[in-house]
Amino acid sequence: MPGLDSVLSCLDLNLDRSVERLQELLRIPSISTDPAYAPDVRRAAEWLKGDLEAIGFSARVAETVGHPMVVAHHGGAGEGKPQVLFYGHYDVQPVDPIELWDADPFDPKVIAMPDGTKRITGRGSADDKGQLMTFVEACRAFIAETGSLPCRVTIFLEGEEESGSPSLLPFLKENAEELKADVALVCDTNMWDRETPAISTGLRGLVGEEITLTAASMDLHSGYFGGAAANPITILARILGAMHDADGRVTIPGFYDGVPELPADVRKVWDGLGFDDAAFLGAVDLSVPFGEKGRSVLEQTWARPTAEVNGIEGGYTGQGFKTVIASKAHAKVSFRLVFDQDPDAIRENFRQFVRERLPADVSVEFHAHGGSAAIQLPFDSPVLETARQALSDEWPKPAVMIGMGGSIPVVGQFKDTLGMPSLLIGFGHGDDRIHSPNEKYEMTSFAKGQRSWARVLEALGEKGAA
């Protein structure tokens, strides 16, 4: 029976054909935020259904109250093999400002660059049609060469990722049994650099709180009342100013519960990434990592929790001066969570922290915004090691396991709703200009991305996906 090598050869031989297929998909302007493009969004879904059926998947376009989902199944090598769920999205960002594009965003081209590389241009080339097709092409070659797939595979493609995914959670709940797998493969992220593939193993969680302090029942004149009346801005400043100690640690009781120190080997890998703190901060005219003392920028942003004031407002903020003591002061505060921090406990501890610092006559109202725990694959998880090895076999440099400071909602929903961990593997680059004019996807990303997925599928099939 033909093996991985013949699958990889098949991918190489058929690269031009795969580019043509991607371009066909890119020509469909599946902009999900603009109702005028709803028929195009549906057309992209139908195109994908057709293509997946053509290679042997049982596929359907599944209705939602918004744009449809594409769900396709392939039994692969059978019951004994791991079940994986591949996630991507087939909708794209709007193209405004259209005048900044060098060409029609929906007339994709292959462009040869002076350095000999090629790129595929057009809206969605990187985000996320190019990325999702790397997986589809890997499956196509596997089935063509071997008659099957090394794993049982569900492909789940969303059409609302660029418009807030309103239908995603209900759909996951309604179709939990159908979609549940050993692991989700999510292809919507970047490589570490052009030679080094990356697996994102951690995403920070998020807790948002709006807080409003009220002192007097009306704005007061600071001459008449100043010195005797509580000033809610001053009090809010005092409370928010007390959230960090001199070493940058958050002072809210229990805040670091569930936050382990980074394992030495992970720290060593991250230290070895050659991340340039100075360049990262210098790009926004900062020079010094500001947060917890003695930790690198990568650790601060990937593995440490934060407490940030995202907005503050109170009193007179217009031109000139008004000698007012405001009745109310308002702030939006958010917490990025890591590892096992409990969003509910963080929220409650923060509220308690505030309440304990309120003087007489000052009341507080809280308003909760979101609350999601961090995602963290165990650093020693076997599936992670399997994928890491498979990617390392493909690229010039070994794959690295990285964190992400932000959140990707679908990953949290897979975890919460389906109890399913995610492997975030993507082949994009920071300069792909996603969401911007002149979006592009590197030909290397597309070609070696396909080969990467073939290797990952083969390895998961052999070693399992747990």
Give 118 or 295: the residue with its C-beta nearer to a copy of itself: 295
- Burial letters 363-374, b for 16+ CB under 10 A, else e: ebeeeeeebbbb
Least distance to a copy of itself, CB of residue 129, Å: 24
- Return the residue of 113, 278, 286, 466 that touches a copy of itself, per CB under 8 A: 286
Give 153 or 240: the residue with its C-beta nearer to a copy of itself: 240
- Burial letters 149-166, b for 16+ CB under 10 A, else e: bbbbbbbbbbbbbbbebe
Contacting a copy of itself within 130-149 (CB under 8 A): none
Give the pair of three-digit tokens for residue 310.
């995202």
Give 130 or 403: the residue with its C-beta nearer to a copy of itself: 403
- Return the residue of 15, 169, 273, 309 that touches a copy of itself, per CB under 8 A: 309
Query: CB neighbours of 411 closer than 8 A, spacing ≥ 6?
Result: 184, 186, 203, 375, 422, 424
Choose one: 68-76, 152-160, 304-312, 439-447; the region binding a copy of itself (CB under 8 A): 304-312
DSSP 3-state of 147: coil
Count of CB atoms within 10 A of residue 38's CB? 15
- Return the residue of 53, 344, 361, 365 that touches a copy of itself, per CB under 8 A: 361
CA 450 to chain centre: 21
Q: Is the peptide bond before 128 cis (omega within 30 degrees of 0)?
A: yes
- Return the residue of 208, 254, 258, 398 that touches a copy of itself, per CB under 8 A: 208
Least distance to a copy of itself, CB of residue 389, Å: 29
Least distance to a copy of itself, CB of residue 228, Å: 4
Contacting a copy of itself within 258-277 (CB under 8 A): 277
Give 130 or 305: the residue with its C-beta nearer to a copy of itself: 305
Contacting a copy of itself within 373-412 (CB under 8 A): 404-407
- Return the residue of 74, 330, 347, 440 that touches a copy of itself, per CB under 8 A: 330
Contacting a copy of itself within 221-260 (CB under 8 A): 221-231, 233-234, 236-244
Question: Binding to a copy of itself by residue 123, rule CB under 8 A?
Answer: no
Rounded Cα gap, residues 68 and 83, in angstroms: 23
Residue 168 backbone dihedrals phi, psi, to 5 degrees = -65, -55
- Return the residue of 164, 260, 263, 370 that touches a copy of itself, per CB under 8 A: 370
Cα distance between the two ends of the chain: 26
Choose one: 88-96, 300-308, 419-427, 458-466; the region binding a copy of itself (CB under 8 A): 300-308
Give the pair of three-digit tokens for residue 308.
């940030």
- Return the residue of 264, 288, 294, 356 that touches a copy of itself, per CB under 8 A: 288
- Return the residue of 369, 397, 415, 433 that touches a copy of itself, per CB under 8 A: 369
Q: CA torsion sign, 278 to 283 to 288 to 293? A: negative
Question: Binding to a copy of itself by residue 323, rule CB under 8 A?
Answer: yes
Distances, alpha carbon 181 to alpha carbons 27, 110, 156, 172, 421, in Å: 32, 36, 11, 12, 9
Rounded Cα gap, residues 424 and 58, in angstroms: 25
The size of the interface with a copy of itself (CB under 8 A), counted in residues, is 81
Least distance to a copy of itself, CB of residue 71, Å: 29
Least distance to a copy of itself, CB of residue 307, Å: 8
Least distance to a copy of itself, CB of residue 360, Å: 4
DSSP result, 183-238: EEEE---B-SBTTB-EEEEEE-EEEEEEEEEE-SSS-EETTTTTTTS--HHHHHHH
Least distance to a copy of itself, CB of residue 256, Å: 13
- Return the residue of 1, 36, 65, 218 that touches a copy of itself, per CB under 8 A: 218
Give 144 or 309: the residue with its C-beta nearer to a copy of itself: 309
Rounded Cα gap, residues 351 and 345, in angstroms: 10
Q: Which helix (H) or strand (E) holds 332?
A: strand 328-337
Question: Binding to a copy of itself by residue 336, rule CB under 8 A?
Answer: yes
Least distance to a copy of itself, CB of residue 207, Å: 11
Contacting a copy of itself within 423-452 (CB under 8 A): none
Which one-letter amino acid corresponds to residue 355? R
Least distance to a copy of itself, CB of residue 372, Å: 12
Distances, alpha carbon 445 to alpha carbons 80, 248, 255, 450, in Å: 32, 39, 40, 8
- C-alpha gyration radius of the chain: 25
Count of CB atoms within 10 A of residue 428's CB? 22
- Return the residue of 5, 78, 217, 274 that touches a copy of itself, per CB under 8 A: 217
